[in-house]
């Protein structure tokens, strides 16, 4: 290669490398600023998957049943999806329900995270017991993740959180909420 051509080639390759480094630097800075400023890990994850951004949670939810009085429980039947309650309530993964979040729900359930039911009334209920079994890292609870179920349960409300003691799972419809094509698989993509 002639000297001038060689110099031009080196300059060209250097500029390509510099562009790549700038892009990576920009992405690192963007990600770090989003994460560390608390602007939303969920936002950055959704940005990364390139899929549709899920809607934010409603400002208020109204339970389908009249809540029990303080210090008491109420027997109810409710239909909803078995969820990883931390991801759903916190919104940290963007989506906390459906097939797009199923793998994450398995990870969290195995890690001892709280299992819940996202009721059809919009309320996230925390499960304290399921058919006599304690819920943490329970094989039954892990196996039910993302399934749509109808349960008979005792409902408690205490200090801003809804809890259920599930007496019986009346119906299990399997995985119904198929949202992976719309929102992608979170986190880390497919």
Partner 1 sequence: MRRTYDFLRFAGLALLFAWPANSFAADPLGVNGEVQASLKGKVVDILCEIGHDCAPNCGDGKRQLALKTADDKLYFASKSHVIFAGLTNDLIQFCGKEIIADGLITSAYGSQMLFIQQYKTSETGEWIDATQFRTDWAKAHGVEPDSQTAKEWYKTDETVRAALELHGKLGLTP
CA neighbours closer than 13 Å in the CB half-sphere of residue 172 = 12
The count of chain residues that interact with partner 1, using the rule CB under 8 A, is 82
Report which secondary-structure segment, H or E, holds 32. Answer: helix 3-36
Decide: 177 and 162 in contact? Cβ < 8 Å: no
Report the sign of the C-alpha dihedral through residues 51, 57, 59, 63, in that order: positive
Q: What is the Cα gyration radius of the chain?
A: 23
Residue from 76, 148, 162, 184 touching partner 1 (CB under 8 A): that is 162
- Site residues for partner 1, 80-139, by CB under 8 A, read 85-86, 88-92, 99-100, 102-104, 106-114, 116, 118, 122-126, 128-129, 134-139
41-49 helix and 3-36 helix, angle to the nearest 10 degrees: 140
Please tell me the distance from the alpha carbon of residue 72 to that of residue 65, in angstroms, as a whole number.
14
Q: Choose between 10 and 30: whose C-beta lies nearer to partner 1.
A: 30
Q: Choose between 1 and 56: whose C-beta lies nearer to partner 1.
A: 56
- Site residues for partner 1, 141-160, by CB under 8 A, read 142-143, 145-147, 154, 156, 158-160
Q: Choose between 2 and 60: whose C-beta lies nearer to partner 1.
A: 60
Q: Does 24 participate in binding partner 1 (rule CB under 8 A)?
A: yes
DSSP three-state, residue 159: coil
Q: Choose between 3 and 37: whose C-beta lies nearer to partner 1.
A: 37
Residue from 74, 79, 152, 165 touching partner 1 (CB under 8 A): that is 165
Least Å distance between CB 189 and partner 1? 7
């Amino acid at each position: 290669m002639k000297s001038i051509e060689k110099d031009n080639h080196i300059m060209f390759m250097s500029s390509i490398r510099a562009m790549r480094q700038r892009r990576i630097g920009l992405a690192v800075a963007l990600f770090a600023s989003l994460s560390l400023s608390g602007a939303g890990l969920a936002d950055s994850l959704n940005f990364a998957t390139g899929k549709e951004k899920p809607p934010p949670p409603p400002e208020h939810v109204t339970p389908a049943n009249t809540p029990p009085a303080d210090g008491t429980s109420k027997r109810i039947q409710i239909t909803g999806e078995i969820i990883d309650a931390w991801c759903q309530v916190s919104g940290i993964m963007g989506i906390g329900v459906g097939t797009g979040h199923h793998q994450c729900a398995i990870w969290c359930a195995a890690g001892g995270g709280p299992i819940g039911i996202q009721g059809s009334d919009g309320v996230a209920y925390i499960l304290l017991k399921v058919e006599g079994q304690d819920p943490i890292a329970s094989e039954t609870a892990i196996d039910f993740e993302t399934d749509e179920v109808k349960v008979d349960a005792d409902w408690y409300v205490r200090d801003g959180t809804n809890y259920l003691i599930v007496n019986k799972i009346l119906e299990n419809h399997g995985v119904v909420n198929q949202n992976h094509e719309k929102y992608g698989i979170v986190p880390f993509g497919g």
